[in-house]
Chain A
């Protein structure tokens, strides 16, 4: 069994959910720690901690939505120990990073036996609750994130009404390119967490939002369309209908974040 930060591993081993004969810690592989610029954008090594990702100057500059999502995770201790690779492999649909990585068009890079390499777009990486497109004999070595076509604005919002130290009930990441003169939406990606078995793109909202000049009323109208894109279920953080209601409000606020940023 492969171990990255070790959080999920230690939790599951402690309650007997796993009992591996051999454990390989990946931390001694130097290449997977690095966060650096590439010709096309950013490389984030799989063993980069949440904290390293959120505090990286490169990430903050090119993809502030990723920085924000990683900075929102848990507590200082979790951010210092947990890694992006571990987070991806765990595939918990309530986690913060996946929606931000989705709207940033990240690609997951995986290496298998004999160096066989697979590159999986993030949107095809999460398959179901706690299920990702990775085999037991494969290692995630990192993610590549293309530099966004500027000017891009982005936002990350999480809704956790009980207490700040909680997984988000619903989260929204959004990135858009607005035409400098008219403010017309040239491109928009919206992804939500906590509303289905994997992070979900709000394509109905995107399709309705692209090509228009955003107004308050237009945002109200398109936000409601997210209902068609999500499939939340009842759990401790709320009923499915509650999450539907929150998703609409949160998408609306995310879209207003984007347009307000642009107009300032």
Chain B
């Protein structure tokens, strides 16, 4: 950082630091709730059934019970971020084990649970579908036969080829067939990945009450304005009649963009005439909210004699579970589901992706939606091509990596690509870090579009001669408020202690789309920068030539001023990264031990150096979980491991030393050149691990997680390729 960046050159000190380290930070479950009714659900024991009757009469007589709502009471209320296909409470049928059938509000949680257990449920079983292939058979039971009656926000729902398809996306560019015809070799590989969890440690919590004829909701949802608007649609209210308030959010990672309970509580508080509260459990969140999609990805790539990609075909089928409600994209697919050879020059490609209904946990957004899956497939596929052709894996990547002006797998032309730089930096770094004896090394590259879109913040000079920023973005941990403080202080050349950031509710803050897509620093930060520059310009008008501090003091003495600052971040910027993972494999057991990791990260200008490091390292830890241990086990629609004892996430002992090299040579349009950071580093870990395992043992694991058992099967069995049974689109 140059001397111009006086503040950005110093480490970021979290504005909420003292609050968090003293336990004073209020999360949603910490808000005072004296006298608030507690809510528990009666949930479906069966994966697919039509509801004949729900009898809550016995439950209503139980001690402490105030109100019970069933699907009949809330008929027609369905929720969803785009397709509103998820009934607030099951109406004509249940579609997954754990589906919410009735909600009980009682004085205590124990009383609510005891009453819920007394609800009588009469149903007729329907044939369930538990896997993506069964779901697409011509005679498969259709989970949503009345989907034409569902609201689809923001336009018309596209047609689909089969009633159990949630959404599809097809991309075609270039002369694909002639590309394959001209091939020197064609490589065809299929990969599988399980459902997994975004896995924030804080369970979802919500509270609702009516005040001044408006419904006030405390929520863990990280997009409060979007939740407000979704609730307005599903409850048939004006958005102004609903207020969403956030506490600190204990991690999100994509999962908390979907809300179900808040809708139930809004209806419940109206029915009960009392404030109501629901603190979910980690187990319920794991099995009945939303998860990272599992599925199958088949890649087929034609190469010339030098290993250059001529053409590419891909079939991506993701298990979308019982409801598509969690997904905000019009095609109800995670954004990166179709970027199947990301980061490379692909002159011709045909990619078909689809998400499919099954009677299981609904798929949603989880850190880098779609990309852990496509990166595992693509970066494994590229390595397999390299090894088969006897070309060094890094060399093969350098031959094919996107350069300025190249077209990528989606048909998009890149004006500028940092990937060659990032790859070269990795090569240079690895050259003087040889892998220790007995260790295997695997690499992977990654790229992600930097977020685009707009944001508004309110900026104010107060009567106390301080600067205040008001934002509608909640704090889910990535350091947004500290970033906004530093951007403004840097731009105005004042001390951070003079800048205060407030996260407001949907009632007092300007509209914001919320956390997601790693948008906050580039876009909301961009708005803060616009605001700070306008403040400076205004101060110059009012009192030219004075120091900024004096200008502020003068403006304050005259009552101060405030305005909304908007920033529109253009699309087109990219971030990129390259990772190398060194590991050991115990050949007698297949057990993997990670040794070292190197990450090159092209992320533009750094506003919060400590937070940036934390996001990149946190992403790697998340990627280690995906690579080695995370898997939601679903048997006949039943999640058998919805708890932290059986669904394992990395501990401090599972994360090796990481050597981080940050590249800031390609600034983005965010403040001080910032680009998106938070979702860059998790996706490439799993393929790098798979590549290292193959390098060391010759075993190619084609499915996640890469377990000791799979590796041992490859070492001791007849096939070097393990983890996927059969193949096919």
Contact = CB atoms under 8 A, between A and B. Distances in A.
A162 B712 contact: no
B646 A236 contact: yes
A163 B653 contact: yes
A242 B648 contact: no
A249 B588 CA distance: 7
Interface stretch (B79-87, B495-503, B589-597): B589-597
A111 interface: no
Contacts of B646: 236
Contact of A164 (B592, B654, B708, B713): B654
Contact of B591 (A159, A165, A166): A159
A227 B592 CA distance: 24
A76 to B, nearest CB: 12
A159 B707 CA distance: 13
B641 A165 contact: no
A151 interface: no
A161 B654 contact: no
A204 B626 CA distance: 40
A257 to B, nearest CB: 15
Given A162-B629, A236-B640, A245 B716 contact: yes
Contact of B707 (A16, A162, A164, A246): A162
B646 to A, nearest CB: 6
B650 interface: yes
B558 interface: no
Nearest to B590: A161
Interface string A8-23: 0000000010000000
A246 B589 contact: yes
Contacts of B654: 163-164
Contact of B709 (A164, A165, A242, A249): A242
A162 B628 contact: yes
Interface in B585-608: 588-592
Contacts of B591: 159, 161
Contacts of A165: 648, 651, 653
A161 B707 contact: yes
Given A159-B589, A161-B590, A162-B628, A236 B653 contact: no
A238 interface: yes
B35 to A, nearest CB: 24
A242 B712 contact: yes
Contact of A161 (B589, B650, B651): B589
A146 B641 CA distance: 40
Contacts of B113: 16
Interface in B644-684: 646, 648-651, 653-654
Interface in B612-657: 628-629, 633, 640-641, 646, 648-651, 653-654
Contacts of A159: 589, 591
A221 interface: no
A161 B628 CA distance: 9
Nearest to B624: A163
A239 interface: yes
Given A246-B589, A249-B589, A163 B712 contact: no
A239 B590 CA distance: 14
Contact of A238 (B588, B640, B651, B709): B709
Contacts of A246: 589
Contacts of B641: 236
Nearest to B713: A242
A236 B633 contact: yes
A242 B710 CA distance: 9
Interface string A170-204: 00000000000000000000000000000000000
A16 B648 CA distance: 24
Contacts of B589: 159, 161, 245-246, 249
A163 B709 CA distance: 14
Contact of A163 (B633, B640, B651, B713): B651
A164 B651 contact: yes
Interface string B671-713: 0000000000000000000000000000000000001110011
Contacts of A161: 589-592, 707-708
Contacts of A166: 648
Contacts of B709: 238-239, 242
A246 B653 CA distance: 22
A249 B586 CA distance: 11
B717 to A, nearest CB: 10
B651 to A, nearest CB: 5
A187 B117 CA distance: 56
A24 B684 CA distance: 53
Given A236-B641, A245-B712, A164 B653 contact: yes
A83 to B, nearest CB: 19
A164 B594 CA distance: 13
Contacts of A242: 708-709, 712-713
Contacts of A162: 628-629, 648, 707
A163 B716 contact: no
A26 to B, nearest CB: 25
Interface in B203-226: none
Residue in A16, A159, A162, A164 whose Cβ sees the most chain B Cβ within 10 Å: A162
A18 to B, nearest CB: 14
A16 to B, nearest CB: 8
Interface in A233-264: 236, 238-239, 242, 245-246, 249
Given A162-B648, A163-B653, 20 more contacts: A159-B591, A161-B590, A161-B591, A161-B707, A162-B629, A163-B648, A163-B650, A164-B651, A164-B653, A164-B654, A165-B648, A236-B633, A236-B641, A238-B707, A239-B709, A242-B709, A245-B716, A246-B589, A249-B588, A249-B589
9 contacts: A159-B591, A161-B590, A163-B628, A163-B650, A163-B654, A165-B651, A242-B708, A242-B713, A245-B716
Interface of A: 16, 159, 161-166, 236, 238-239, 242, 245-246, 249
Interface of B: 113, 588-592, 628-629, 633, 640-641, 646, 648-651, 653-654, 707-709, 712-713, 716
Q: Which are the 10 A-B pairs with shortest beta-carbon distances? A: A161-B708, A161-B591, A162-B629, A242-B709, A249-B588, A164-B653, A163-B648, A165-B651, A162-B648, A238-B709
